[in-house]
Amino acid sequence: MGKGEVEEQEDVFQAILLADNFGVSIFGSEWADKQNPGGNQFLDDDEDEGGAQNKSKEDELESGFTQESLMHLGNRKLIDYALEALTVSGVQEIYIFCSTGIRGGDALKAHIKDSRWSDLTVKIQVICSEDCQSLGDALRELDAKGMIRNDFIMMATAVITNKGLKPWLEMHRATMKNDKGAVMTLVHRVVPEGHRSRSTNSRTSVVVDASTRKILAYNERVPDKRIKVPLANIKEEMEVYLDTVDSGIAICSSSVLPLFTDNFDFANMVDFIKGILMNEEIMGNTIYVHRLEKGYANKITDFDTYLGISNDIMERWTYPLVPDMPFGSNPDDSIYSMNLNFVYKVTDVVCARNAMIGPNVIIGSKTKVQEGVQIRKSSIGNNCEIGKNVLIEHCQIGNNVKIGDGSKLCKSIVLDGSVIKAASIVGPMIILAEGQTCKIAIEDTFEKSDDEEESDDEDDFKSEDSFAPEPDNQESDTKRFCSEVLESILRAFTDNVDLDNLAVEIHGSRTANFMYFDDVPNAVVKGIIGVPLKLYPDFEQMPPKTQWDKTSEVMVRFKKLMPQYVKTEKAQKTVLQALEEHALDNAYFRPLLMKVLHYYYDIDILSQEMILNWYKTPSAYKGAAELRKMVEKLIEWLETASEESDSEEDDE
Amino acid sequence: MVYESKVQAVVLAAGRGSRMTQLLGTTVPKCLVPVCGNPLVYYPLKSLEAVGFRGKDILVIIQDRDDVRRALLSIADRLGLSGLDILTVPEDSEDFGTAESIRIALSSKKITRDALLISCDTIADIPFRELFDFHEIKESELTTLFVSPLQIPENVKLPGPKSKIKQERDIVGVKPGTNNLVYMASEADCEEEVKLPVSTLKSCPHTKILTGLVDTHVYLIKNSLLNRLLAATSERNFISFKGEFMPFLIQNHFLPDFSEYTFKFYACIEPKYRCVRVNSIPSFALANKSGDWIKDVFLNGVIPKSKCKIARGSKLWGTTLGEQCVVEEKAKLTNVIAMDGVVIKAGATVEGCILSSHSIIGANSVLKECLVGPKYQIPAEGRFTNEQLSVMEEAYFGD
């Protein structure tokens, strides 16, 4: 877009605010499951009970957890922080995108209607969608609606910032004057590793051109050994950032939405950034990054950052977004006053004389705190009753919560209206649902008291998150896609179809079934391994030697196909997982697994590191442990190999 | 000046020029390659002399060859560097690495103080004052010096088969603000991509990577750290100082388990100054074409006349001749760089060529943009354009 156009247009300052994170909750998998209970269903994979799933989902939402953006943070709603930042910066139109459907949307709308936000001249519109699985889907939908006409601010879930956004928009526009292809400026804040408000999962590395801050290379996870920058991209002066985190704020050119529409496999920001960088030479689009060294801009990404940022707020790093400043939703909100040690209280709080409160504590209106209570680094809502000798550390407690005498709460979130019985122990890392009554909740026995029947699956599920498949609502699509790919590969094998044509066919199936690129490796591996099964009806009865010969024949035939799909560590993970699933489903395959792994290691599809990783990550599937035992030899061999290569590495 | 009392200069001049074998063959040692009328090793010695080093403070490490020793002594005479210390490394062994040279010097107690290492192929207007001050202020253990590369004049073309002149870039990573040295590599060592080691970057999570500067191969180094090179021999046999030992040090001094050594490495960055490193044929051509700059910095404005026989009626344009060259009648030389003992027979026309030592250009031959190897004889009436002409000896094609 030329600069002339920008100025000619009625320059409305627009922003997109994402109210949730598309099924990936900042509060961990339990939360996501609660919001999206269908996700668990992958364990019993043969039922087709879409209807039932939907129903249970609605039930859950009704009774269970709230919309994520309406969670408490410093006794305000999360979304209020983002709305404050946007409105203060002079944003004129705010589109809140909510992927939890009508229910989540209604809650949001109600919150905005009841609050000060509706009094402002700012246009705030909540857009609900139930089909959106990803950020990409959301932006494509927004593009179709045609509401965003200008450069805009995109803000992710739960962003807290005290910086004005307008200067960043100006900065991005100045960049666009020099580089017509500039589509986005990411705001990265300097947060050194190990800081409380930096997630341990946040391991991005960015290489930028020092003079323009244009991104030259981007890794969402820092590789273990080396960060690679192609010589062709080298600039005279570059900078490498490992000390920044994505603040969740992106300043976007108006062309961002059409770019998402054109590239329907962009699912999230990482896809977008990588896609743009990869095609920079062809498309001419570029992404910039703003390194924020002063001022606050941070995003809650998980439990730890939630607690960390809540402390940042109480210690006033986010000033003026602090508890005792009047901002946010309700005009009749109680007024907090700050006391020593960052203790914030409303005047009507009743506190026992010997209660030890602070540092970093906020206590809401009409809450009663009994004798002998200790509260540290926590926030407690309105109308709570805290019994005698209760210990609360690193907790976020909602309104109307009753905590019985002698309970201990640590590193947990307790939502509105919960009741915790006397002498309970809660935490760490527990989220108590609204209105729940709880006796004991330590991490391993999460919610046992309430959902006895669910708990088994629940426990299994938790221990293996790294290798559990993503909760997938499109089970049937995936299945159809897998079987189509299998058919294609089978035909390619028997009719000697060219690999290029096969790739085109697989691409076609993927598009037709609305699959992402990440889904392909799984289908391809299962397809290749599954060919002999389809080809020979009595395959499972054949002697192992013949089985291996047949299987390896197929693998060799398609060995050139794999590298196309398995380029990233994530893809390798998918491959390993697919092989594991296949082995668990088919007894014949178990003895072969070691050879298959070895083969894929030899042709550089799987790295030793990923295989070792997989081996070391326990899985809750039945028989998974036995399976790992069967490949022990290979692992031993790999480990010695890895030692050797380590020493080689040193010798460089 | 005061430097010499603290610091000993070590000129590393034992290199063989493995990247310019077509030019040098086995006959010419790298440190004697003529650049603007002087052998290469003259330039670092001149820099040292200019800043006040005396002969006894300078150690030159050379190959064990009489011609090198003689040339070196004559340069020392000219510069008034009496008492220059010379250490020889065996001539017959394979290309002797810089780290190996230094190790020999250390074990024979030739280096006893903190050292200023300087490579013989560096032609640079070294900002000694800035370098030494920086080194002192930072209390550095090892300071490297980065300056701007000498610009390639537009009219310089590379003789031999057509290829673009490209200077190899040095890549250096420093911590912004403090200039701690985080990473060092040269473009030649990277294949398709620069590979930044994550382990060091984690210790310095905000790193500036500079690629527009050139490593002068001038290092100020503490004696204790040099001894580390000796100590490390038991672990690893370092061959190259820059290519192996320095990366080893840099990578390790960020690791926590190396804490017994409190290494402090810095990069002194002075983009106002310029440098060319004569280690390849393009840089050799470049240095010889940059007479104006070299003349101003090193030669008080005069390029020494070499003792050559130039017949009347020959025409020379933009040409540098080495010692003992012979140019016969009616020869026409345009933009030619001739090394020592080149003979150009009558009526030959030579344009934009590099003529290596003791090559003979036949009568009435026409040479354009060629690279003529050592002792190579161009037949009379020969016609060559854009070719590399050298005696087919395996050793010449090592690269």
Cβ separation B201–A205 shorter than 8 A: yes
| B268 belongs to a structural domain | yes
Same-domain pairing of B353 and B390: yes
Residue A297, pLDDT > 90, answer yes
On whether both B327 and B288 belong to a single domain, the answer is: no
Omega into A618 within 30° of 0, i.e. cis?
no
Would you call B209 and A243 a contact, using CB atoms and an 8 Å cutoff? no
Residue A542 makes CB contacts below 8 A (sequence gap 6+) with: A536, A550
Which positions in chain B have a beta carbon within 8 angstroms of at least one beta carbon in chain A?
169, 171, 173, 176, 187, 190, 192-199, 201-202, 205-212, 236, 247
**Predicted confidence band of residue A280 (pLDDT cuts 50, 70, 90):** confident
What are the CA-CA distances from residue B236 to residues A650, B226, B255 (Å)? Answer: 10, 15, 18
Question: CA of A228: which chain B residue's CA is closest?
Answer: B195
Give B209's contacts in chain A (Cβ within 8 Å): 207, 237-240
Show the tokens assigned to A83. Answer: 């709305």
Interface contact A234, partner B, CB < 8 A: yes
Nearest chain B residue to A650 by CA: give it.
B248
CB contact under 8 A, B211 and A222: no
Cα separation, B273 vs B276, whole angstroms: 11
A238–B211 CB contact, under 8 Å = yes
The nearest CA of chain A is from the CA of B146 a distance in Å of 13
Task: Render pLDDT for A377-415 as a digit per residue (tens, 0 to 9).
Answer: 999 999 999 999 999 999 999 899 999 999 999 888 888
Do B235 and B288 belong together in one domain? yes
CB contact A221 to B (< 8 Å) = no
Q: Is position B236 within any domain?
A: yes
- In Å, how far are A141, A366, B275 from A131, measured between CA atoms? 10, 42, 62
Measured between alpha carbons, how far is A367 from A390 in angstroms, rounded to an integer? 14
**Any domain includes B161:** yes
**Is A243 in Cβ contact with B197 (below 8 Å)?**
no
Question: Do B363 and B278 share a structural domain?
Answer: no
Q: Is A293 on the interface with B (CB under 8 A)?
A: no
User: What is the 3 state secondary structure string of A137-153?
Assistant: HHHHHHHHHCCCCCCEE
Which sequence spans correspond to the domains of chain A? Answer: 3-39+51-303, 345-452, 475-651
Nearest CA in chain A to B187: A231
CA distance A139 to A141: 5
Residues A439-446: contacts with CB under 8 Å, at least 24 apart: A441/A412, A446/A30
- On whether both B283 and B316 belong to a single domain, the answer is no
Helix (H) or strand (E) holding A554: helix A544-557
Q: Measured between CB atoms, which of B190, B199, B202 is closest to A231?
A: B190
Q: Which residues of B91-124 are buried (b: 16+ CB within 10 A; e: fewer)?
A: eeeeebbbbbbbbbbbeeebbeebbbbbbbbbbb
* Domain A475-651: assigned CATH number: 1.25.40.180
CA count, 13 A, side-chain hemisphere, A623: 10
pLDDT at B163: 64
Residue of B nearest to A233 (CA): B193
- CB B79, CB B71: distance < 8 Å: no
Chain B, nearest residue to A238 by Cα = B209
B248/B279 same-domain check: yes
pLDDT at A3 (0 to 100): 43
The closest alpha carbon to B287, from B272, B298, B276, belongs to B276
> What is the chain B residue with the closest CA to A191?
B205
- Does the beta-carbon distance from A227 to B195 stay under 8 Å? yes
In this predicted model, what pLDDT tens digit does every residue of A156-165 receive, in sequence order? 878 999 999 9
- Give the number of C-alpha atoms closer than 13 A to the C-alpha of residue B166, restricted to the C-beta side: 8
A229–B192 CB contact, under 8 Å: no
Taking the mean position of all CA atoms in its chain, how far away is CA B337? Answer: 18
CA distance A155 to A14: 11
d(CA A100, CA A132) in angstroms, rounded, equals 9
H helices, E strands: number in chain B: 11, 29
Query: Nearest Cα to B221, choosing from B204, B241, B200?
Result: B241
Which among B190, B196, B205 has the least Cβ separation from residue A193?
A: B205
Amino acid (one-letter) located at A104: G
- Element holding B229 (H helix, E strand): helix B223-232
Contact B198 A226 (CB under 8 A): yes
Taking the Cβ of residue A479 and every Cβ of chain B, the question of whether any pair is shorter than 8 Å is answered with no
Q: What is the CATH number of the domain that holds B285?
A: 3.90.550.10
Chain A residues within an 8 Å CB radius of B210: 236-238
- Closest-CA residue of chain A to B195: A228
Is residue A225 within 8 angstroms of chain B, CB to CB? yes
Q: Range with the lowest mean pLDDT among A356-370, A459-473, B113-127, B319-333?
A: A459-473
**Assigned superfamily of A3-39+51-303:** Spore Coat Polysaccharide Biosynthesis Protein SpsA; Chain A (3.90.550.10)
Q: Per the domain annotation, does B246 fall within a domain?
A: yes
Q: Which of A486, A504, A483 is nearest to A494 (CA)?
A: A486
Is residue A457 within 8 angstroms of chain B, CB to CB?
no
Q: What is the pLDDT of residues A616-646, one digit of tens each?
A: 887 777 778 888 888 888 888 877 765 554 4
User: Could you tell me the end-to-end alpha-carbon distance of chain A, in angstroms, rounded to an integer?
Assistant: 49
B391-399 average pLDDT score: 48
pLDDT value at A306 more than 50: yes
Does one domain contain both B293 and B379?
Answer: no
Which A residues 164-193 touch B at CB under 8 Å? 190, 192-193
Q: Under an 8 A CB cutoff, do A651 and B171 touch?
A: no
> Within 13 A of B208's CA, how many CA atoms are on the CB side?
17
On whether residue B317 sits in a domain, the answer given is yes
A11-52 pLDDT per residue, tens? 899 999 998 877 667 665 555 455 444 333 333 333 333 333
Residue B221 pLDDT: 92
Question: What pLDDT does residue A543 have?
Answer: 83
| Beta sheet of B122-124, edge-to-edge order | B85-89, B58-63, B7-13, B114-119, B214-221, B142-149, B265-277, B122-124
DSSP B213: S
Residues of A in contact with B247 (CB under 8 A): 652
Measured between beta carbons, the chain B residues lying within 8 angstroms of A238 are: 208-211
Angstrom distance (rounded) from CA A58 to CA A51: 11
Query: Which pair of structure tokens corresponds to residue A138?
Result: 């959301």
Output the furthest CA–CA distance in chain B (Å, rounded): 72
- Which of B298, B333, B358 is where one domain is finished? B298
Q: How far apart, in whole angstroms, are the C-alpha atoms of residue A326 and residue A328?
A: 7
Choosing from B238, B265, B298, the residue where a domain stops is: B298
pLDDT(A360) > 90: yes
Proportion of chain A above pLDDT 90, given as a percent? 30
* Interchain contact A613–B (C-beta under 8 A): no
Pairwise CA distance, residues A439 & A423, whole Å? 8
**Cβ–Cβ of A190/B206 closer than 8 Å?**
yes
State which residues form the domain around B386: 309-397
CATH of the domain at B373: 2.160.10.10
**Mean local confidence (pLDDT), B296-303:** 81
Q: Is the peptide bond before A320 cis (omega within 30 degrees of 0)?
A: yes
Q: State whether B196 and A190 contact (CB < 8 Å).
A: no
- The alpha-carbon gap from A202 to the nearest alpha carbon of chain B, in Å, equals 13
Is the separation of the CB atoms in A95 and A14 below 8 Å? yes
The answer to whether B193 contacts A229, with C-beta atoms less than 8 Å apart, is yes
Residue A214's pLDDT is what?
A: 95
Does A545 contact chain B (CB < 8 Å)?
no
Tell me the C-alpha distance between A17 and B201, whole Å.
34
Chain B contact for A226, CB < 8 A?
Answer: yes
Q: Is the pLDDT of residue A100 over 80?
A: no
Min CA distance, B116 vs chain A (Å)? 26
List the structure tokens of A390. Answer: 């209760």
Q: Which residues of A touch B193 (CB under 8 A)?
A: 228-231
Segment A570-614, tens digit of pLDDT: 888 888 888 888 888 888 888 888 888 888 888 888 888 888 888
Give me A124's structure tokens.
């705030």
- Establish how many alpha carbons lie within 13 A of residue B328's alpha carbon, considering only the half-sphere containing its beta carbon: 13
Residue B187 is nearest to which of A192, A207, A231, comparing CB atoms? A231
Q: How far is CA A373 from each of CA A199, A347, A356, A408, A614, rounded to the nearest angstrom?
A: 30, 19, 6, 10, 46
Tell whether A223 is within 8 A of chain B (Cβ).
Answer: yes
Contact A181, A284 (CB under 8 A): yes
Q: In this structure, are B7 and B108 located in the same domain?
A: yes
Chain B residue at shortest CA distance from A224: B198
Q: pLDDT of B212-246, one tens digit each?
A: 899 999 999 998 888 877 777 666 778 888 888 88
What is the mean pLDDT of the segment spanning A72-100? 89
CB-count burial class (<10 Å; 0-12, 13-18, 19+) for B84: buried
Which residue out of A229, A277, A649, A651 would a mutagenesis test of the B interface target, given it has the greatest number of B Cβ atoms within 10 Å? A229
Pick the closest to residue A294 from A161, A184, A199, A173 (CA basis).
Answer: A161
Q: Residues A531-572: pLDDT tens digits?
A: 888 888 888 888 888 888 888 888 888 888 888 788 788 888
Q: Answer yes or no: is pLDDT of A465 > 80.
A: no
- A-to-B residue pairs, Cβ atoms closer than 8 angstroms: 79
- What is the signed CA dihedral for A536, A537, A540, A546, rounded to 10 degrees? -20
- Of B197, B184, B194, B191, nearest to B244 by C-alpha is B184
pLDDT in tens, A157-202: 789 999 999 999 999 999 999 999 999 999 999 998 888 888 888 8
Per-residue pLDDT tens over the stretch B2-21: 555 689 999 999 888 877 87
Residue with more model confidence, B250 or B265: B265
Residues B267 and B130: their CA atoms lie apart, in Å, by: 12
Name the nearest CA neighbour of A634 among A611, A610, A604: A611
Query: Where a domain ends, among B298, B319, B343?
Result: B298
- Claim to verify: residue B281 and residue B338 sit in the same structural domain: no
Subunit contact B206:A223, Cβ cutoff 8 A: no
CB atoms within 10 A of CB A205: 22
Reported confidence tier of residue A4, pLDDT bands at 50, 70, 90: very low
- A420 closest CA partner among A34, A410, A171, A510: A410
Distance CA B120, CA B110 (A): 18
Contact criterion met (CB < 8 Å) for A210 and B208: yes
Cβ atoms < 10 Å from Cβ of B312: 6
Alpha-carbon distance of A587 to A533, in angstroms, equals 12
**CATH second-level architecture of A345-452?**
3 Solenoid (2.160)
Considering only CB atoms, A230 lies closest to which of B192, B199, B207, namely: B192
Residue B293 sits at the vertex; the CA angle it makes with B291 and B294, to the nearest 5 degrees, is: 65
Contact A378, A397 (CB under 8 A): yes
Q: What is the DSSP string of A28-70?
A: -HHHHHHH-GGGGGGGSTT---HHHHHHHHHHHHHHSPPPGGG
For residues B71 and B33, give the distance between their C-alpha atoms in angstroms, rounded to a whole number. 11
Are B283 and B326 within one domain?
Answer: no
Of the partner residues A193, A236, A240, the one whose CB lies closest to the CB of residue B196? A240
Please state, in angstroms and rounded to a whole number, the distance separating the CA atoms of residues B226 and B232.
10
Contacts of B199 in chain A (CB under 8 A): 225
Tally of domains within chain B: 2
> Over the stretch B161-171, which tens digit does the pLDDT of each residue have?
766 656 678 89
Q: Do A236 and B236 touch (CB under 8 A)?
A: no
Q: What does A195-210 look like in DSSP terms, one character per residue?
A: -TTS-TT-B-EEEEET
Same domain, B316 and B229: no
